Structure formats: structure tokens, C-alpha cells
Amino acid sequence: MRLAACETEGLNRVYDRSREAFAFVLSMPTRLLLAFLLLPGLALCQQPSSTPGEYQGRVIAQTMHWQGAAWLVRHKREREEATTTMRANLGLKPGMAVCDMGSGNGYHTLPMAEAVGDTGKVYAVDVQPEMILMLNERIAEKGVKNIVPIVGALDDPKLPERSCDMILLVDVYHEFSQPEAMLTAMKKALKPNGVIVLVEFRAEDDSVPIKPEHKMSKAQILKEMEVNGLKLVREFEGLPWQHMMFFGLPPQKL
């Protein structure tokens, strides 16, 4: 069967595009090509559970998908969450080793890296490889050298033991499908005087326009931290929508 001229032209265009796409893939650096080929499998392995369940009487929220990453860097986030004020009250200093747990595409990671300076280090952990790829792009664009990206697991952030002065979790903890395993691993990653900082939308405030499963009350946070062997060290109550609570390990008995 002979094809009409318009059909032949259409097929030629498809062929040309396919050839160009193949050439683009072949031109990728080896490491990038490997990431390109492995990404679908990694995403499947790291995909958060669709039915996370409950913990300590609280419904565990579904993890935000990487395709919604633009929401993390929205322009009005500063106005809604006072993120600069939040980071200023972390007490970051040059030389500190800290972790941005659930780093996403690096909204907090990059300012934290600037705060701890060249002598400090920021571990950026996320369970979605796509988030880490986006973070790596931003790191390369800005030429930052003190960030260590980590693709974590649902039950293990893969942090080195006794490596962190602080682990920051901004609107992240309530999405952990295995909170006890994660807290156990984070406690091992803390230095002796290190702290875990939870920033969570206030469940007590109905005016905070966030879905209930993505909020936590102060009482619920305290309940879950205490049952996992963490004590409240201090808190900052100056954020418009969120709790900000610092937890540390209890003193070891001699």
C-alpha cells in the first residue's frame, strides 16, 4: 500500500525526532545517563506507601509527590511560614553539621548551607530520588560545596552515626510511614548534645489552611517524642502557622 505524501512527511518527522532523542541520550555524561536509566526503577522502589496507616492515635499523612515540588519554593511561602525567621531561630553557626530531613528540592537546604559556612556540612535527605536530582541541579547552579545529598529509605535516613548537631524536619515528620524506625535512626545520628527540630502546622488552629492530616497538635508531638525517648529542650512560638519544637536525648545515667 502506497502512503500519501502527507503521511510520508509525518513519518519522517517522527523518525527525525526519535533520532534526535536517541542522540541526546547518547550525549549524556556517563553518570547522568546511568541516573536517567535507573530513575524509573528507583522511583518505584522509593515510592511512599499509599496506605501509611496510623501511629499513636494519629493518621499518618501521605507524602507529597515530587511532581508537586514547585509548591515547596512558592513565592508566598515566606509570608505564610516566616521561613527566614524560622531559620534564624535554629541557632545555626559556622562549622556545624546539620541535616535537612525531607529536603525536597532544597528550599531550606541552600540557606542552611550558607549559614554553616565552608567549614560546616548539610546532609540533605529525601526518599524520592527525583527530589534529590532537582536539589543536585540547584547545588550545581549555585556552586555549593558543603551539601551531601542522600536518597534515604522509608525506615532509615542513612545518616552517619553521631554526625549531626541538628536535624531539621519542616512539615515532614507527620508523613513518616515508619516514625519509630526513623526516630531511632535519627537519634543514632545525633552528636551527644544534638537536637531534632520539628516544625509542624498547628492542629489547634482551625484558621491554618492545611488539611487536618498534615497538622499536628503540640500535645501529639510531645506524646510521640516522649514515647521515643526524646525530651523537649526548647520551643519557638513566633511562627504564624507552625509549632517549632527542639528535642534532645535525655542525659545518660552513669
Q: What is the 3-state secondary structure (H, E, C) of the chain?
A: CCCCHHHHHHHHHHHHHHHHHHHHHHHCCHHHHHHHHHHHHHHHHHCCCCCCCEECCEECCCCCCHHHHHHHHCCCHHHHHCHHHHHHCCCCCCCCEEEEECCCCCCCHHHHHHHHCCCCEEEEEECCHHHHHHHHHHHHHHCCCCEEEEECECCECCCCCCCEEEEEEECCHHHCCCHHHHHHHHHHHEEEEEEEEEEEEECCCCCCCCCHHHEECHHHHHHHHHHCCCEEEEEECCCCCEEEEEEECCCCCC
Per-residue model confidence (pLDDT) at position 31:
44
Q: Is the pLDDT of residue 24 over 50?
A: no
Per-residue model confidence (pLDDT) at position 64:
74
- Give 69's pLDDT tier (boundaries 50, 70, 90): low
Q: Is the pLDDT of residue 43 over 60?
A: no
Per-residue model confidence (pLDDT) at position 252:
72
Per-residue model confidence (pLDDT) at position 63:
83
Q: Is the pLDDT of residue 23 over 70?
A: no
Q: What is the mean pLDDT of residues 99-114?
A: 96
Per-residue model confidence (pLDDT) at position 62:
86
pLDDT digits (tens, 9 = 90+) for 123-169: 999 999 999 999 999 999 999 999 999 999 999 999 999 999 999 99
Just give the CATH number of 54-248.
3.40.50.150
Which of 66-80, 165-179, 217-231 comes out lowest in average pLDDT?
66-80
- Give 77's pLDDT tier (boundaries 50, 70, 90): confident
The ranges assigned to domains in the chain are: 5-46, 54-248
pLDDT digits (tens, 9 = 90+) for 212-228: 999 999 999 999 999 99
